[in-house]
Amino acid sequence: MLIILLGAPGAGKGTIARMLVEKFGIVQISTGDMLRQAVNEGTPVGKKALEFMNSGKLVPDDVIMALIEERIAQPDCAQGFIFDGFPRTIPQAHALESLLTKKNMTVNAIINLEVPEEVVLKRLTSRRTCSNPHCQAIYNIYTMPPKKEGICDKCGSSLIQRDDETEEAIKVRLETYYEKTQPLIDYYCKHKAYFAVSSLDAHETFNAIVKRLQK
Ligand SMILES: [Zn+2]
C-alpha cells in the first residue's frame, strides 16, 4: 500500500497518516519529521535544512530526495508507506515518480485533505510542543490541552510554540503552499488514484478514506 497525502500545513495530514498507518500496517514517511530529526542530530543535511525552515521556506529538493531514497529502502517499509507532506511541487512529484518507477512501485491513493484557510490558521497557532527533545508530544490549546497549562502530561517539561508555528511564520508557509502546491493538485487530479476529502473531523475523514480505499 502506497499512499500520498496532500493538504495545506495544518490540514491534518499527520493525524490522518497515523490512523492509516495503524489500519494498514504501513510506515509513515513525514519529510517534516525526517528533517527535524536531521536538524536535532545536527547532520550536514540538517544544518543545511535549518536555514530554510527557520525562515518558513521550503527545503531544496535534492536534500529531501536524498532523505527519502534512504528511508524507503529500509526493511520496515516493505508493507508499504504513506507520504505525509510530500511531494509539495511538480518537480518533486516527477522526482518521486522516477524513484518509484526505479523501485517498481505503484501509488494506490493520492488523497487531498481539504480544509478552509481560517481553520488551518487557528489549528496551527494553537499548537504547543513539548520542549523535551526526547518527548516532543504535541498539544492543542483548544482541542487537546495538557492537564496543567504549559506543562507536558507525559514528561512534565514545559510546552513551547515552535518558531515555525507563529501566525507570521504560518502565513508565509501558507503563501508558499498555495503558490507552489496548488499546481501539484491540478497535476494529480488527472491521476486515477486521486481523490479529495474534507478534513474537518479526523474520524470522519479517516472513515471516508478507508471506505474509498476498500472499494
Ligand atoms: Zn513531554
Query: 119 and 200 in contact (C-beta within 8 Å)?
Result: yes
**pTM above 0.95?**
no
- How remote is the CA of residue 155 from the centroid of ligand 1, in Å? 4
Question: Higher model confidence: residue 32 or residue 136?
Answer: 136
Nearest to 112 by CA among 58, 173, 188: 188
Q: What is the pLDDT of residue 101?
A: 92
CA dist list (Å): 33 to 46, 65, 83, 86, 183: 11, 14, 11, 12, 24
Candidates 36, 123, 128, 173; catalytic one: 173
Query: 152 and 146 in contact (C-beta within 8 Å)?
Result: yes
pLDDT band for position 51 (cuts 50, 70, 90): confident
Mean of pLDDT values over 115-131: 91
Q: In this structure, how many other beta carbons lie within 10 angstroms of the beta carbon of residue 29?
A: 22
Q: What is the pLDDT of residue 55?
A: 82
pLDDT tens digits for 144-164? 999 999 999 999 999 999 998
- Tell me how far apart the 2 most distant CA atoms of the chain are, in Å: 50
Question: Higher model confidence: residue 145 or residue 36?
Answer: 145
Annotated active-site residue 123? The verdict is no
Q: In this structure, how many other beta carbons lie within 10 angstroms of the beta carbon of residue 82?
A: 24
- Checking if the pLDDT of 74 tops 90, the result is no
- Highest-scoring range by mean pLDDT, 47-51, 98-102, 121-125, 145-149: 145-149
Annotated active-site residue 212? The verdict is no
- How remote is the CA of residue 110 from the centroid of ligand 1, in Å? 33
Mean of pLDDT values over 178-184: 84
Annotated active-site residue 127? The verdict is yes
Q: What is the pLDDT of residue 52?
A: 83
Which domains does the chain show, CATH number per domain? 2-115+177-213 (3.40.50.300)
